[in-house]
Amino acid sequence: MTSVNSLTVDELGSAAQRDRRKRILDATIALASKGGFDAVQMRAVAERADVALGTLYRYFPSKIHLLVSALAREFERAEATLRDKPIPGDNAADRVIFVLKKTTRGMQGDPHLTEALTRAFMFADKSVQSEIHIVGMLLTTMLTRAMHPGQTELTDDDVAIAKVLGDVWLSALVGWVTGRSSAEEVGQQIEVAVRLLLR
Amino acid sequence: MTSVNSLTVDELGSAAQRDRRKRILDATIALASKGGFDAVQMRAVAERADVALGTLYRYFPSKIHLLVSALAREFERAEATLRDKPIPGDNAADRVIFVLKKTTRGMQGDPHLTEALTRAFMFADKSVQSEIHIVGMLLTTMLTRAMHPGQTELTDDDVAIAKVLGDVWLSALVGWVTGRSSAEEVGQQIEVAVRLLLR
DNA sequence: GACATAATAGGAACACGTTTCACTTTGTCC
DNA sequence: GGACAAAGTGAAACGTGTTCCTATTATGTC
């Protein structure tokens, strides 16, 4: 529980450790935002965060862990923001579309960052399992909440639909990152999937 | 059109070039099958294919290009096999499930190869666009044919459904590769998505 | 068949993720 | 406040993807 490289923000550890962790993730986001996946070089992250390379690796055992952890932090922020205000829309489909498009728009506003985080997420292997799982849960939570605001009991179908929508959204994002589809096409893909699943 | 590192099998080029290309892809598959993504080392591929490192890079400009091209060749084979015999199943849902599960089973029979090819596909960036596109088209074609055998005219909804199913399948595969879900769960995810979409 | 051109071989060199190690600083417990 | 362990520093070194260069070998043209 005192593990330093755990993911949740409210983790134990000294103030200095929390500060280092924050500086590292800030540096990661800044570099990713400027030049994408390739620009997030471990030596550069360490220098910008003002820690030694060895310290960086003590906090995050690999570049992929680092980027997926940064993604998890961004998702936690987005989820927290979304949790406060009610989601506009008269039905589940509209609310889900609102959430997904808003998130997508946010990511497309910073293409390099999105490229870095998406590719890291998709490239991860078994060793990043727990970090990946956190992101997956946050995504499912966001979607089920959009489908049924304020509802705690969910049917199996609800969860299944949320997972399928999450899959579609991730695949669409990968398509956008790889230049196969435009921003509008990503929006369309999501709308189509929502329409097919939540009619 | 005479470009050596194009993807289609029936490409132009001398017999020697076709032979080299085949040897390289064979070596790639063999190494991937034995040790996964990490085992596909460019020096090892070159040595096993009996070509110089520079030649390997002339044919495939990066490790990702190489692996995605190998994936495309495997997909072309699978698609060709599937094209011949009729797909069992009384309705679209059953036939799609048959195709996806058969393909999934094939991939899970060679976990290392699947890991290598899936991770390469997901890690690809814009420079691999055309190779990635070929794989995507093959997947969509396989699925629409399973939905409507022998039918050339397809509605927009058919294509949209096929794309969503392809997305779910890819995401499920990534989940399996990252150790988040078991083989059975992959099968279940697919069944659920098909049931939701093709009811 | 001789020549021009392209393709290949062989290998050095470079970049960046990762590991390692000797040393120093920081934090904790008595 | 001293001793000890944990954490951090700084730098070297290693592995593998990628690039580059020169000599050699095929290939196609007249």
Whether the predicted pLDDT of B2 surpasses 80: no
DSSP assignment letter at B85: S
Higher pLDDT, A16 or B32: B32
Is A178–B128 a contact, with Cβ atoms under 8 angstroms apart? Answer: yes
Condensed to tens digits (0 to 9), the pLDDT of residues B116-142 reads 999 999 999 999 999 999 999 999 999
Name, of A103-107, A122-126, B22-26, the range with top average pLDDT.
B22-26
Residues A63/A42, Cβ–Cβ less than 8 Å: yes
Question: To the nearest 5 percent, what fractions of chain A are helix, strand and coil?
Answer: 75, 0, 25
Q: Please tell me whether residue A138 adopts helix, strand or coil conformation.
A: helix
Give the distance from CA A48 to its chain's centroid. Answer: 23
* Nucleotides in C strand less than 7 A from protein CB: 7-12, 16-22, 26-28
CA distance A115 to chain B (A): 9
The whole-angstrom separation of Cα A178 and Cα A127 is 24
The helix (H) or strand (E) run that includes residue B75 is: helix B63-84
- Partner-chain contact A124 B196, CB within 8 Å: no
Position B12 confidence tier, pLDDT thresholds 50, 70, 90: low
pLDDT at residue number A180: 86
DSSP state letters, B49-74: HT--HHHHHHH-SSHHHHHHHHHHHH
Predicted confidence at residue B64, as pLDDT, reads 98
Average pLDDT over residues A23-50: 98
Of B123, B177, B193, the CB nearest to A164: B193
The residue lying closest to nucleotide D16, measuring its CA against C1', is B41
Angle at which helix B156-177 crosses helix A183-197, to 10 degrees, equals 100
Residues in chain B: 199
Does the beta-carbon distance from A196 to B136 stay under 8 Å? no
Å: A99 CA to C10 C1': 56
Supply the pLDDT for residue B8: 43
pLDDT category at A12 given cuts 50, 70, 90 is low
Alpha helices in B85-124 (DSSP H): 92-108, 111-123
**Hey, which of A80-84, B31-35, B149-153 has the most confident mean pLDDT?**
B31-35
Full-model pTM = 0.91
| Å between CA of B54 and C1' of C4 | 23
Is the per-residue pLDDT at A56 higher than 90? yes
For residue A120, pLDDT over 50 is answered with yes
The per-residue pLDDT for range A147-157, each reduced to its tens digit, is 999 888 899 99
Out of A39-48, A79-88, A148-157, give the one with best mean pLDDT: A39-48
Is there contact between A127 and strand C, defined as CB under 7 Å from any strand atom?
no
What pLDDT sits at residue A152?
Answer: 84
- Please state at what angle helix A15-39 crosses helix A111-123, rounded to 10 degrees: 100
Q: Is residue B55 very low, low, confident or very high in pLDDT (cuts 50, 70, 90)?
A: very high
* Mean pLDDT for all residues in chain B: 90
Most confident listed range (A45-54, A97-106, A122-131): A45-54
